[in-house]
């Protein structure tokens, strides 16, 4: 048995896969913010999962991200090189709002009074310019102890080149204040740029105590309840890690929640033959999009969260503040706008009747006819369509448009913004949307997926089974991952094969480290996979392009091939390639421990005719056409493998709605996935 639990801000999703019985069970319980471990265990109960029978328990949590967003993490001290106390507070000095002369930076995670300096200095080649002053370090440690803080982030200049002083500082802290959790910048990132590395270490330190105590508590409770299987967590950089690794480097938990959906998408894509995917995960307040090309999840070597950088390779997830709760409004110039303000879950959209008075995306969807007021969240919430229409009418009056046109316009503008988010992670990264399938999930992904795909020329949309719990579902199919890297700047020239000696020596070390880590996790050799990648650039450039390598032992012949694939990747991303010399910057190795792939239950086979799932029809107002069209309504739970539906149609399930427009055609796949071909009828 495998169990995946995705703890979100409001709900905890639980999926139980019983491989012996071939059954999948989805459950949702409320998250217990004060005691999330209890929420997880109550999820086990509700899903009637026999803890003794669990082989793999995979967990995704937004705990770390929430601590960051709500500023409820640890009280952190920074120890840095003398003279550089304000590197963290000063950051890079830039700001996004170009014309705001009163701009304030986001609230700092560490007040200046908690930043301490120690005499020591490394040079950029790792040479010691001045010695580590241990007496001073001890004084600083005592001051930190006196402040009764929770965690320390240590970041010395050029520690990426030589971490010796940071390590000595850790020893001093361990001796003077043994209870304190300590993060070294050099343990997390081996790249230059002191602010970004400090920020990475601070975020790790900031979420470490809260995640560590949570994971320990959960681990203990699960052990008490008899769990003998593996306890794994989804990581920001893709794949899963053991609970021990997670406690040590919680910065890898920042994207743990949304990462589950992306990682699962890659595996689900492999299972269903879709290797190029854009994942489209829309919830109540935000949309997360990411890209998978040729089965590989697209990564970024640096991400920013609320303006705070994290410089570790992270899944490239672009988040847009647009969801069901996004508010529609009229700007000073008389144009209709949607978001970024959200009505959230409370008071929520006008139609929830919980006191919301501002028109939201959900109100517009209800008003035009896409949603059934009696069947929202399986009838748990009765929607008030009249109130939604009244609110839309007053907005329409300000705009001088009809109410129907206003409601449909709200949806259209939202779709354009979401299409913009998809452009960010595809077109703006050098990928052509027409080569990708949109994998739509979350509560609202499939509602707008077909419209967004049409806007950008994606040929198809796939809606996976259990779409509103898909992040958890994806976690069932995960592998264990360890990433290793080493910066090594050297020119790559076909007639200079001797440069490969150093590269191969580094790969031998990285390989040994990866092998040891997987041994520790208990993987046999036949379940280990090693993937080598290098970051390359033209000599003189700074930024790099990632290129896959043929293996970890390179031959002379490989050099020309690597240079050629770099040129191709550069051209694809930036539109040009050059004859300039190419150099290696960073060598990366991913060590994968393969877990057995679960058997996903198949749907009962039917024929093309979907009539047994047909529930009726509903008129839906069409934007810019001045009239409604009838959408046929189907019940997803009654659809069979092989059924086909012509748009316009709506497929309803308990917690989500899939919309297929005129001209599109939907087919049901063997795992119950809905495959919408855009423009298939024309």
Partner 1 sequence: MSQVDAVTIEVINNYLQSAAREMNRNLIRTSYSTIIYEVHDFGLGIYDRHCRMLAEAPGIALFTRGNDYALKKMIEHLGYDNIYPGDLILLNYPYWSSAHVLDVLAASPIFAGDDLVGFTAVKVHWLDLGQKDPGYVLDSTDMYQEGLVMPCLKIYEKGVRNKAVEDLIRFNSRMASHVLGDMNAQVSSCRTGEKRVAELVEKFGLETFETAVEAILDHGERLARARLAKLPKGTWSAEDWVDDDGINKDDLVKLKATVTITDDEMIVDWTGSSPAVEGPLNLPIGLTVGLCGLIFKGITTPDTPANEGNFRPLKVIAPKGEVMHAEPPQPTFALWIALLAPEVITKALAQAMPDTIPACSGGDVFTVMGVGTHPESGAMWVEATNECVGFGAHAGADGENGIMHMTQPGSRNNPVEVLETKAPWIIENYCLRQDSGGPGQHRGGLGITRTYKFLTDASVLTLVKKTKTRPWGMEGGETGENGHVILWPETERETFTGMIYEPMKPGDRLVNNSGGGGGWGDPLQRDPEAVLRDVQNEYISSASARDHYGVVISPETGRVDEAATLALRASQAPQEQRKVSSL
Is the separation of the CB atoms in 461 and 418 below 8 Å? no
Is residue 195 a contact point for partner 1 (CB under 8 A)? Answer: yes
The β-bridge partners of 23 are 18
How many residues touch partner 1 (CB under 8 A)? 69
Question: Rounded to 5 degrees, what angle do the CA atoms 53, 54, 57 make?
Answer: 170
Is residue 273 a contact point for partner 1 (CB under 8 A)? Answer: no
561 C-beta neighbours (distance < 10 Å), count: 15
Is the separation of the CB atoms in 411 and 339 below 8 Å? no
Q: Which is nearer to partner 1, 135 or 147 (CB)?
A: 147
* Least Å from the CB of residue 418 to partner 1: 10
Of 30, 86, 501, 568, the one binding partner 1 by CB under 8 A: 86
* Least Å from the CB of residue 339 to partner 1: 12
The β-bridge partners of 676 are 461, 666
* Least Å from the CB of residue 89 to partner 1: 7
Of 48, 99, 306, 526, the one binding partner 1 by CB under 8 A: 99
Please identify which residue in the block is written with the tokens 């988040």: 319
Of 48, 148, 380, 542, the one binding partner 1 by CB under 8 A: 542
Is residue 401 a contact point for partner 1 (CB under 8 A)? Answer: yes
Q: What is the DSSP letter of 381?
A: B
Q: Number of C-alpha atoms within 13 angstroms, CB side, residue 48?
A: 4
Of 55, 85, 354, 618, the one binding partner 1 by CB under 8 A: 85
* Least Å from the CB of residue 209 to partner 1: 23
Is the separation of the CB atoms in 671 and 600 below 8 Å? yes
Q: Is 605 exposed, middle or buried (0-12, 13-18, 19+ CB in 10 A)?
A: exposed
φ, ψ of residue 164 in degrees (nearest 5): -55, -45
321 C-beta neighbours (distance < 10 Å), count: 15
* Least Å from the CB of residue 652 to partner 1: 27
* Least Å from the CB of residue 289 to partner 1: 13
* Least Å from the CB of residue 205 to partner 1: 19
- Please give the structure tokens belonging to residue 262: 């992306």
Q: Which is nearer to partner 1, 144 or 478 (CB)?
A: 144
Pairing of strands 277-282, 437-441: parallel
Among the listed residues 76, 73, 71, 72, the one whose alpha carbon sits nearest the alpha carbon of residue 144: 76
Is residue 100 a contact point for partner 1 (CB under 8 A)? Answer: yes
* Least Å from the CB of residue 540 to partner 1: 4
Which residues in the 616-675 window bind partner 1 by CB under 8 A?
623-624
Q: Which is nearer to partner 1, 90 or 174 (CB)?
A: 90
Q: Which is nearer to partner 1, 273 or 333 (CB)?
A: 333
Of 374, 380, 526, 576, the one binding partner 1 by CB under 8 A: 576
Angle (deg, nearest 10), helices 194-224 and 36-46: 50
Is residue 509 a contact point for partner 1 (CB under 8 A)? Answer: no
Is residue 111 a contact point for partner 1 (CB under 8 A)? Answer: yes
Q: Which is nearer to partner 1, 115 or 649 (CB)?
A: 115
Pairing of strands 460-463, 674-677: antiparallel
Is residue 428 a contact point for partner 1 (CB under 8 A)? Answer: yes
* Least Å from the CB of residue 124 to partner 1: 4
User: Cα-atom radius of gyration of the chain, to the nearest Å?
Assistant: 26
Is residue 579 a contact point for partner 1 (CB under 8 A)? Answer: no
Of 522, 560, 574, 596, the one binding partner 1 by CB under 8 A: 574
State the alpha helices, DSSP H only, in 225-374. Answer: 243-248, 256-272, 361-368
Is residue 541 a contact point for partner 1 (CB under 8 A)? Answer: yes
Is residue 92 a contact point for partner 1 (CB under 8 A)? Answer: yes
Of 20, 93, 306, 498, the one binding partner 1 by CB under 8 A: 93
Of 22, 33, 83, 626, the one binding partner 1 by CB under 8 A: 83
State the alpha helices, DSSP H only, in 153-193. Answer: 164-176, 185-188
Q: Which is nearer to partner 1, 240 or 410 (CB)?
A: 410
300 C-beta neighbours (distance < 10 Å), count: 17
Element (H, E) at 187: helix 185-188
Look at the chain and count its residues.
Answer: 682
Of 145, 381, 399, 529, the one binding partner 1 by CB under 8 A: 399
Helices (H) and strands (E) in the chain — how many of each? 16, 35
Q: Which is nearer to partner 1, 571 or 615 (CB)?
A: 571
Among the listed residues 222, 248, 219, 223, the one whose alpha carbon sits nearest the alpha carbon of residue 235: 248
* Least Å from the CB of residue 305 to partner 1: 18
Is residue 23 a contact point for partner 1 (CB under 8 A)? Answer: no
Q: Which is nearer to partner 1, 97 or 178 (CB)?
A: 97
Question: Rounded to 5 degrees, what angle do the CA atoms 386, 389, 394 make?
Answer: 130
Element (H, E) at 445: helix 445-456
* Least Å from the CB of residue 180 to partner 1: 21
* Least Å from the CB of residue 164 to partner 1: 16
Q: Is 376 exposed, middle or buried (0-12, 13-18, 19+ CB in 10 A)?
A: buried
Is residue 71 a contact point for partner 1 (CB under 8 A)? Answer: no
* Least Å from the CB of residue 636 to partner 1: 30
Is the separation of the CB atoms in 562 and 549 below 8 Å? yes
Binding range to partner 1, per CB under 8 A, among 123-131, 239-247, 340-348, 353-361: 123-131
Is residue 107 a contact point for partner 1 (CB under 8 A)? Answer: no
Binding range to partner 1, per CB under 8 A, among 188-196, 292-300, 510-518, 665-673: 188-196
Is residue 131 a contact point for partner 1 (CB under 8 A)? Answer: no
Of 158, 460, 588, 636, the one binding partner 1 by CB under 8 A: 158
* Least Å from the CB of residue 580 to partner 1: 7
CA–CA gap between residue 562 and residue 530 (Å, rounded) = 18
Q: Which is nearer to partner 1, 336 or 668 (CB)?
A: 336
Distance between terminal CA atoms of the chain?
A: 45
Question: Residues 6 or more apart from 286 whose CB is under 8 A from it?
Answer: 319, 320, 321, 322, 323
Of 374, 498, 575, 627, the one binding partner 1 by CB under 8 A: 575
Of 420, 459, 642, 663, the one binding partner 1 by CB under 8 A: 420
Is residue 194 a contact point for partner 1 (CB under 8 A)? Answer: yes
State the alpha helices, DSSP H only, in 81-133. Answer: 87-90
**Mask 318-337, x = binds partner 1 (CB under 8 A)?**
-------------xxxxxxx
Peptide bond into 347 cis (omega under 30): yes
* Least Å from the CB of residue 350 to partner 1: 21
Question: Residues 6 or more apart from 675 whose CB is under 8 A from it?
Answer: 460, 461, 462, 666, 667, 668, 669
10 C-beta neighbours (distance < 10 Å), count: 13
Of 578, 608, 612, 681, the one binding partner 1 by CB under 8 A: 578
Pairing of strands 528-538, 480-492: unpaired
Of 20, 34, 48, 94, the one binding partner 1 by CB under 8 A: 94
Binding region for partner 1 (CB under 8 A): 82-87, 89-90, 92-105, 111-113, 123-124, 129, 157-158, 160, 192-195, 331-337, 399, 401, 409, 412-413, 416-417, 419-420, 423-424, 427-428, 538, 540-543, 570, 573-576, 578, 580, 623-624
């Amino acid at each position: 048995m495998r169990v995946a639990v995705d703890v979100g801000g409001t709900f905890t999703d639980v999926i139980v896969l019983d491989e012996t019985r071939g059954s999948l069970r989805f459950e949702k319980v409320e998250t217990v913010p004060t005691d999330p471990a209890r929420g997880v265990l109550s999820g086990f109960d509700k899903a009637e999962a026999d803890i003794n029978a669990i082989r793999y328990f995979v967990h995704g949590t937004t705990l770390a991200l929430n601590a960051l967003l709500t500023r409820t993490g640890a009280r952190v001290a920074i120890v840095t090189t003398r003279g550089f106390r304000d590197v963290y507070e000063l950051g890079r000095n830039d700001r996004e709002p170009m014309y705001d002369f009163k701009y304030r930076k986001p609230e700092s995670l560490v007040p200046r009074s908690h930043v301490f300096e120690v005499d020591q200095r490394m040079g950029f080649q790792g040479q010691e310019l001045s010695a580590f002053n241990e007496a001073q370090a001890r004084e600083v440690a005592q001051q930190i102890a006196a402040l009764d803080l929770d965690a320390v982030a240590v970041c010395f200049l050029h520690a990426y080149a030589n971490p010796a002083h940071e390590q000595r500082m850790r020893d001093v802290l361990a001796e003077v204040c043994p209870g304190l959790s300590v993060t070294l910048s050099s343990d997390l990132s081996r790249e230059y740029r002191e602010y970004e590395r400090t920020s990475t270490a601070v975020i790790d330190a900031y979420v470490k105590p809260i995640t560590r105590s949570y994971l320990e508590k959960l681990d203990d409770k699960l052990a008490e309840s008899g769990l003998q299987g593996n306890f794994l967590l989804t990581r920001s950089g893709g794949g899963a890690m053991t609970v021990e690794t997670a406690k040590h480097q919680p910065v890898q938990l920042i994207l743990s929640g949304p990462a589950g959906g992306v990682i699962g998408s890659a595996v689900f894509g492999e299972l269903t033959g879709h290797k190029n995917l854009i994942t489209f995960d829309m919830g109540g307040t935000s949309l997360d999009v990411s890209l998978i090309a040729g089965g590989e999840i697209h990564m970024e070597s640096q991400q920013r969260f609320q303006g705070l950088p994290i410089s570790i390779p992270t899944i490239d997830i672009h988040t847009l503040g647009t969801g069901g709760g996004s508010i529609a409004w009229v700007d000073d110039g008389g144009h209709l706008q949607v978001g970024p303000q959200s009505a959230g879950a409370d008071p929520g959209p006008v139609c929830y009747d919980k006191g919301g008075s501002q028109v939201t995306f959900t109100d517009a969807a209800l008003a035009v006819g896409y949603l059934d007021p009696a069947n929202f969240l399986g009838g748990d919430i009765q929607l008030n369509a009249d109130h939604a229409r009244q609110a839309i009418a007053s907005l329409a009056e300000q705009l001088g448009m009809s109410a129907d046109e206003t409601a449909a316009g709200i949806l259209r503008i939202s779709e354009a913004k979401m299409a913009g988010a998809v452009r960010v992670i595809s077109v703006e990264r050098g990928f052509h949307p027409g080569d990708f399938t949109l994998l739509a999930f979350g509560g609202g992904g499939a509602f707008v997926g077909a419209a967004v795909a049409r806007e950008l020329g994606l040929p198809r949309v796939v809606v996976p089974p259990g779409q509103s719990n898909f992040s958890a579902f994806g976690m069932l199919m995960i592998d264990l991952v360890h990433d290793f890297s080493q910066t090594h700047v050297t020119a790559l020239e076909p007639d200079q094969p001797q440069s490969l000696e150093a590269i191969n020596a580094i790969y031998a070390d990285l390989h040994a480290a990866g092998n040891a880590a997987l041994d520790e996790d208990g993987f046999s050799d036949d379940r280990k996979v090693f993937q080598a990648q290098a970051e390359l650039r033209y000599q003189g450039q700074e930024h790099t392009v990632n290129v896959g390598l043929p293996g970890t032992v390179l031959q002379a012949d490989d050099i020309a091939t690597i240079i050629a694939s770099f040129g191709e990747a550069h051209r694809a991303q930036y539109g040009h390639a050059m004859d300039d010399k190419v150099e290696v910057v960073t060598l990366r190795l991913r060590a994968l421990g393969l877990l057995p792939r679960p058997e996903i239950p198949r749907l009962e086979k039917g024929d093309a005719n979907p009539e047994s799932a047909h529930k009726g029809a509903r008129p839906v107002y069409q934007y810019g056409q001045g009239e409604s069209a009838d959408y046929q309504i189907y019940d997803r739970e009654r659809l069979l493998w092989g059924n086909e539906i012509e748009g316009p149609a709506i497929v309803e399930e308990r917690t989500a709605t899939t919309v297929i427009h005129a001209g599109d055609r939907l087919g049901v796949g063997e795992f119950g996935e809905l495959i919408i071909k855009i423009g298939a009828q024309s």
